[in-house]
């Protein structure tokens, strides 16, 4: 995926190396998380992203989109992947 396809405040579910990944553009910085809520593995790209927090549509769990840490409840965390935007604008995700 190219950075021009993921504007600030947007998220997109993609597949990388067989892994379902959620890409989120938070204030111009791209984050990559496993596209599954840690609660019951619901697809996070079906939830809501307000530019700062991500809310799982299934049970309304809320996460800080920049860090992946839980807001409600605060004792959980999204599974993250290292990612960067290459010089040509391609978003690169390392799913290991």
Q: What digits encode the pLDDT tens for the residues 26-76? A: 999 999 999 999 999 999 999 999 999 999 999 999 999 999 999 999 999
Integer CA distances (angstroms), 44 to 2, 48, 83, 87, in order: 20, 8, 18, 28
pTM for the structure as a whole: 0.94
Q: Residue 86's closest CA among 15, 19, 18, 4?
A: 4
Task: Calculate ∠ Cα 61-35-2, nearest 5°.
Answer: 125
Domain 3-93: give its CATH code: 2.102.10.10
User: Could you tell me the residue ranges of all domains in the chain?
Assistant: 3-93
Q: Are 93 and 16 in contact (CB under 8 A)?
A: yes
Q: What is the pLDDT of residue 59?
A: 93
Q: How many C-alpha atoms does 87 have within 13 Å on its Cβ side?
A: 0
């Amino acid at each position: 995926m190219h950075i021009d396809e993921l504007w600030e405040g947007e998220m997109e579910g993609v597949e990388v190396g067989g892994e379902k990944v959620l890409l989120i553009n938070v204030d111009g910085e791209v984050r990559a998380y496993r596209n599954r809520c840690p609660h019951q593995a619901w697809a996070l790209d079906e939830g809501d992203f307000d530019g700062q927090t991500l809310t799982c549509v299934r049970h309304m769990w809320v996460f800080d989109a920049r860090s992946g840490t839980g807001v409600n409840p605060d004792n959980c965390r999204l599974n993250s992947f290292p990612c960067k935007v290459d010089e040509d604008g391609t978003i690169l995700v390392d799913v290991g």
